[in-house]
Structure 1
Amino acid sequence: MSIALKLQDDRISLYARLKSQAMATPNQEWLACMVSSWCLGKSALPDYLGLEPAQFKRLVGHYFPDCRMPELAPSGIRPDFSRMLERDDLVNLLKHYSQSDGFESDCIIGIIVAGCLGNDHLWQDLGLLDRGQLSDMLHYNFPELAAKNDKDMKWKKFLYKQLCEAEGLYLCRAPSCAVCSDYPKCYGPEN
């Protein structure tokens, strides 16, 4: 068996175990997927999943009490502190559109923002199985914001575009997305 197949099997096994512990809300299934990927070094999430240490410990204790989890990212990824203002802007954007208020919502927001600071597609940086899981999670938690992505723009690009528009910044040179030469980079398939 190849190493890649073994890691995939390990991820699915851990995901199934975590899912069985925490299945009261859809968020808990997505959390189980992201945590299982993170534990195996298969996401861009940094230490503590990008959460504050106390918040991480509460999340693990509440949703996954029977699993021993590392606090430091098994992938070795560390946060890029030069992007902290951007981080705050993303948190504020998601909080503004959040469907609910509370601990679970704060954790989802913190993890999504940490994933936005990665270098790949957001669903990959979060350690989700596919883009559909990310779309479902965003529609569930931020329905009004997700509905604005009516042209199916890639999620990370979409979130950053929302930040730019909120600041009145329009960095694209094309008069509309439809005529932009970078259209496939924003709206193409995510593999």
Structure 2
Amino acid sequence: MLALADELTREAEHVFARLMARAVGAGNDTAFASMIATRAAGGGALPVWLGLDLQAFRGLITYHFPGVSPDVLSATDGGIPLKAARQDEREELIDLMLTYRAHESPSEVWMAQTVAAGCMAGDHLWHDLGLWNRGELTALMRRNFPLLAARNVKDMKWKRFLYKQLCETEGIHVCRAPSCEVCVDYHVCFGPED
């Protein structure tokens, strides 16, 4: 089992290096390279083309990694397909993030779509996205959605934070405690994800 993990890591590192050799120096180059490399090596939980449609994925590759073929991922490289019943949920997450986008790069839209696709999976968001650590997720949230990220003042786990924001937008407050600090599930929502 360890040999398989080492092989996947080497494959991901190879694809990552290939992408970064062509990176244009844009803010999301490293995050997208990590996601694509992990997906290409069979890791993460993102659906086909990072949860983007093929045209958007090709746009992402052209923008961030000119000269790299979009075939770095193919339709067969996708993770679990998104259930139609969760499409509305995904759209709400995308809308939430885009409401707070930095308006500095077209890749903010691709990032919102990809992060929302990652939210549909069941592990820690950074892991489902195929990022290599939680710090990468925090950095991309701050870069792409700075006003939203600034609201996460207590370092709540990102997936929980995003869903909490959706609930608050709708006026839904499901927490059993009057504040997070006294909630019995505090350790589940806050703290390290490693």
Q: Same fold (TM over 0.5)?
A: yes
Indicate conservation of the 8 Å contact 2:46/2:118, yes or no: yes
What is the rounded CA distance, in whole Å, between the counterparts of 2:191 and 2:24 in structure 1? 33
- Aligned with 1:135 (options 131, 138, 156): 138
Indicate conservation of the 8 Å contact 1:41/1:73, yes or no: no
The residue that corresponds to 1:35 in the other structure is 36
What is the rounded CA distance, in whole Å, between the counterparts of 2:59 and 2:78 in structure 1? 22
Indicate conservation of the 8 Å contact 1:177/1:183, yes or no: yes
The residue that corresponds to 2:113 in the other structure is 110
The residue that corresponds to 2:68 in the other structure is 66
User: TM-score, normalised to structure 2's length?
Assistant: 0.92
Alignment CA distance shift 1:179-1:73 (3 Å): farther
The residue that corresponds to 2:176 in the other structure is 173
Q: Which amino acid aligns with 2:46?
A: L
What is the rounded CA distance, in whole Å, between the counterparts of 2:174 and 2:186 in structure 1? 14
152-161 or 54-63: bigger deviation: 54-63
Tell whether 2:96 aligns with 1:96: no
Per-residue deviation, residues 54-105 of structure 1 (Å, max 9, x unmatched): 1112222343332432332525421122111111110110110000165312
Indicate conservation of the 8 Å contact 1:34/1:127, yes or no: yes
What is the rounded CA distance, in whole Å, between the counterparts of 2:6 and 2:53 in structure 1? 33
How far 1:21 sits from its partner (Å)? Answer: 0.8
102-111 or 80-89: bigger deviation: 102-111
Q: Which amino acid aligns with 1:14?
A: V
Tell whether 2:149 aligns with 1:146: yes
Query: Unaligned 5+ residue runs, structure 1?
Result: none
What is the rounded CA distance, in whole Å, between the counterparts of 1:22 and 1:161 in structure 2? 34
| Aligned positions, number | 191
Indicate conservation of the 8 Å contact 1:39/1:73, yes or no: no
SS of corresponding position for 1:2 = helix
User: TM-score, normalised to structure 1's length?
Assistant: 0.93
The residue that corresponds to 2:3 in the other structure is 2
Q: Which amino acid aligns with 1:66?
A: V
